[in-house]
Structure 1
Amino acid sequence: MRAGPTLTDQSATPHGFPEPHGQPDVHDRHGWSSDRAYQTGLPPEPPYPAEQPRPGGQPAREPHPIDGPGTSTGGFPIYAFRESLSGAEPEQGYPATPDYGFPGPDGPAGPVRDLGGAGMLGRHRNPFAAWLGLPLLTLGVYPFVWVYKTNRELAEYDRRIQVNPTLSVLAFLIGWLVIVPPFVAAWRLGTRTRAAQHAAGVPETNPVLAFVLFLIGFGPLFLQLELNRLWDRYPGAVEGQQVPLYR
């Protein structure tokens, strides 16, 4: 048994509705239908050209595209709905990257090309988690991870900072056999932090204070606070984003 027409049938009437059963409809090119004689008992209206007025002073009109067949929404094309919306077109793409061409009050003025180049932004960490929380959870393993990542991020931020993160970790891990390497690694980590802060144009830390705090167990807490102040120099930027150096 053949199913009846649906609202999405392309053979629908000019208004997007199925043909009534048993009532054939013949449309001329002006949209007038002969089934009006069947429904009202009156003779069908003659096809008036578009440029001539109909009786009663109403001009003839061509069917609006919204009334015509050939749509996939039962006589209402999607583009008509889209064009009916008000307002500007939505912007495409991702938001623009923050412009760091000019530093803040703590740094020198000038475009990036006149300053120190560019580097990769490091990670903003919770200083108390890096100092105490994660070392306890990892049974003393995280401090070595922190030393490796911190040295690597400083080298990626400023290419003038020369460091091998793996050697720094080994100095803390097995350097105690000859006593000197851990102290050298702690001192150099403080000086590298100061050099990176200088490149960012922010107040610089005191490596002597950082070294003394390392001796009493507060070095990671202090230096992570200083590193966060360095990364905060670039509001809106994310870890791994290229940012300018100001010195």
Structure 2
Amino acid sequence: MTDSTLAPVDVVKRRNPLLVWLIWPLITLGIYNLVWYYKIHREMRDLTRDPQAPVAGPMLVILLLGWTVIGPLISYFRTGHRIRQAQMAATGQATCNPWVGLILCFVFGLQIIYYQLELNKIAV
């Protein structure tokens, strides 16, 4: 397939939310969270075909500004908006709520499960 004919299922990868949230980060000592964050941003950029969409920037915020606490919270909130935009581009219906993702940041990092579940709706 050429880039212009990619279907959402070809761009956004379906992942198991529990593996993304708990298992792979435990096995890789937390490195997989950064890899996952980079990959979802790249997939959303490819889906929306927006050359201005950030890919490495959000991951670097988590990596380098994690100590500030506010930087990652803003990044996760904006990720919720990007997932919402990707859902609109793929299905015309947005169900992701960035506020829910932000609140889940404070509950065992469950925003990862929530965001992956929302991304899986695109990959169906």
TM, length-normalised to structure 2: 0.84
- Change over 3 Å in CA distance of 1:203–1:157 after alignment to 2: same
CA drift at 1:163: 2.7
Query: Cα distance, 1:229 vs. partner?
Result: 0.6
Deviation at 1:203, TM superposition (A): 4.0
Percent sequence identity over aligned pairs? 34
Structure 2: any 5+ residue segments left out of the alignment?
Answer: none
- In structure 2, the partner of 1:209 is 100
| Larger helix fraction of residues | 2
Greater than 4 Å deviation, 4+ residue runs: 117-120
Pairwise CA RMSD: 2.0
In 1, distance between residues paired with 2:5 and 2:96?
21
Identify which of 169, 174, 180 aligns with 2:64.
174
Partner of 2:83: 193
- Is residue 20–residue 112 contact of structure 2 (8 Å, CA) maintained in 1? yes
Is the Cα–Cα contact under 8 Å of residues 148 and 169 in structure 1 kept in the other structure?
Answer: yes
Query: Quick one: which amino acid aligns to residue 97 of structure 2?
Result: N
Q: In the alignment, is residue 154 of structure 1 matched against residue 47 of structure 2?
A: no
Look up the equivalent residue of 1:218 and give its one-letter code.
L
TM-score under structure 1 length normalisation: 0.44
> How far off is 1:137 after superposition?
0.7
Whole-angstrom CA distance in 2 between matches of 1:145 and 1:172: 11
Question: In structure 1, the residue corresponding to 2:105 is in which secondary structure?
Answer: helix
Question: Match for 1:145: what amino acid?
Answer: V
Between Structure 1 and Structure 2, whose CA radius of gyration is higher?
1
Amino acid in structure 2 at the alignment position of 1:131: W
* Greater RCO structure (CA 8 Å; 6+ sep): 2
Please say if residues 154 and 193 of structure 1, whose CA atoms lie closer than 8 Å, have aligned partners that are also in contact. Answer: yes
SS of residue matched to 2:93 = coil
Unaligned runs of 5+ in 1: 1-96, 98-116, 233-247
Distance 2:99 2:118 in 1: 14
**Counterpart pick for 2:110 among 200, 208, 218:** 218
User: Superposition pairs for residues 13-28 of structure 1, below 5 Å?
Assistant: none
